[in-house]
Amino acid sequence: MKNLLLIALFAGLPLNIPAADAPKSAAGKVTATFYINEVKCSTCASALEESLRKLPSVSKVDNLSESSGLANVTFDPKTVSYHQVAQAVFATDPVHSNPYIATLKFSIDGYAKGDNAAKVDAILAKHKSEVRAELKNKAKGEFVLFFEPLKVSSAKKGPQGWNFDEFAAAVQAAGLKVTLASE
């Protein structure tokens, strides 16, 4: 592999390294922005952070405060799903009267063109028992994703419920690109 790298560098050729040798993010972790309602004080934020940190593989919770309305959660989606993160938010005992609800925001390039909306709607329909997507801006393909209560299967190993990576793969297979919002 080293000889191939040296030859490619000296020859000025593009180098196609097999996926197994490609650089990986820190242990496969991702950081996703979850938008959380009802965070009204620092006690709310502390309770939510404590709940999130109990999930396997959650290593970081940033920007969670009463003024931000969001949390940047770093976790391994091969260990815990986006749905499980949202469920941990919902399961946190509310400091005030209303439960905490976590949502995600995403956009799909070209959603409004041709039959793309129908393709995306069909993909979302397959997940209607797990999530509900609300279209916010059709021209820009902007959505807010709401999570249904998580149904855990004792027969399934690994992450439970809806996962962004699987959704993104289905959207990509339909010839579109989905981008998860982050702040």
**Domains of the chain, residue spans:** 26-180
CA distances from 65 to 13, 38, 40, 162, 182 (A): 49, 11, 8, 26, 16
C-beta separation of 161 from 84 below 8 A: yes
Q: 26-180 sits in which CATH class? A: alpha beta
pLDDT, mean of each 10-residue run, the chain (183 residues) = 35 33 58 97 96 96 94 96 97 95 98 97 96 98 97 90 95 97 95
The answer to whether residues 164 and 170 touch, using CB atoms and an 8 Å cutoff, is: no
The pLDDT value given to residue 9: 33
Tell me the Cα Rg of the chain: 19
Kindly list the distances between the CA atom of residue 151 and the CA atoms of 83, 87, 113, 131, in Å, as whole numbers in the listed order. Answer: 10, 10, 34, 12
pTM: 0.83
